[in-house]
Structure 1
């Protein structure tokens, strides 16, 4: 419904915003930094922003757990970027470098990378491991959300 409000975390300043669901496709801007809430690009997360995005967002957040030394992770990055643009009004895609931020990833028992996990309101809804092309990433995410 167009009058439904949901919390979405800003991809720029990581402030939680409350907006109407039908604003996601438009020009919804953050009340704090005034940047667009929907960018079509993956958000780079750290320990603090990871907790905010997965814990506070009522908009699905898809996290790519990756590391710079991982060849399949680097190969999948353009496909993940493409999926972020395709799904920009359906989910926020994000990346967490497990080497730089191991404490954020640790509670989720990530055994192999790349691993993608879908979160909504702090709950993990699904995960998949391995590098996938953009169309398969998109299809998998849509099957979860």
Structure 2
């Protein structure tokens, strides 16, 4: 995705899920939501549920990297801080989100999640890559940028 130009991108707010139009050249300038006035990028993964998922996966024009996880999963808990570190490096070119498969079984089913943790990279509502297993932040960043 080329963010160097001034073409506006639609970005979902991580707080209220409102869609905002932001010039690509302004992504790195800490834009805020036109509705709730919160920061559009927080450099932390956001919790996604059925209500917020489609705004970020289908309506937002930046890629969405989703970590499907569960609280009872030891490897998921091990990867959580690494995923958070990756968010600091990947935003604002990419949104990172987490889906609790226990709380959102329909989303897990929709993506055919069979093992956790599993990361799914989504662009324009379509899955473009998938990776299962624990990864350090550097590997998450490298994999997501490919």
TM normalised by structure 2 equals 0.95
Unaligned runs of 5+ in 1: none
* The one of 10, 18, 24 aligned to 1:21: 24
1:60 is aligned to 2:63: yes
> 2:121 is paired with a residue of what secondary structure?
strand
CA deviations on 1:98-117 (whole Å, 9 max, x unpaired) are 10010122111011000001
Counterpart of 2:43? 40
RMSD: 0.9
The offset of 1:89, in angstroms, is 2.0
The offset of 1:96, in angstroms, is 0.4
CA deviations on 1:16-68 (whole Å, 9 max, x unpaired) are 11111111100210011000111100011111101221111110110000000
Write the distance in 1 (CA, Å) between the matches of 2:112 and 2:101: 11
Counterpart of 1:72? 75
Write the distance in 1 (CA, Å) between the matches of 2:109 and 2:137: 26
* The one of 8, 11, 32 aligned to 2:11: 8
CA deviations on 1:77-124 (whole Å, 9 max, x unpaired) are 000000000111221100000100101221110110000011111011
CA deviations on 1:123-144 (whole Å, 9 max, x unpaired) are 111010001000000000001x
Counterpart of 2:127? 124
* The one of 100, 109, 116 aligned to 1:97: 100
TM normalised by structure 1 equals 0.96
> 1:83 is paired with a residue of what secondary structure?
helix
Unaligned runs of 5+ in 2: none
Write the distance in 1 (CA, Å) between the matches of 2:110 and 2:95: 21
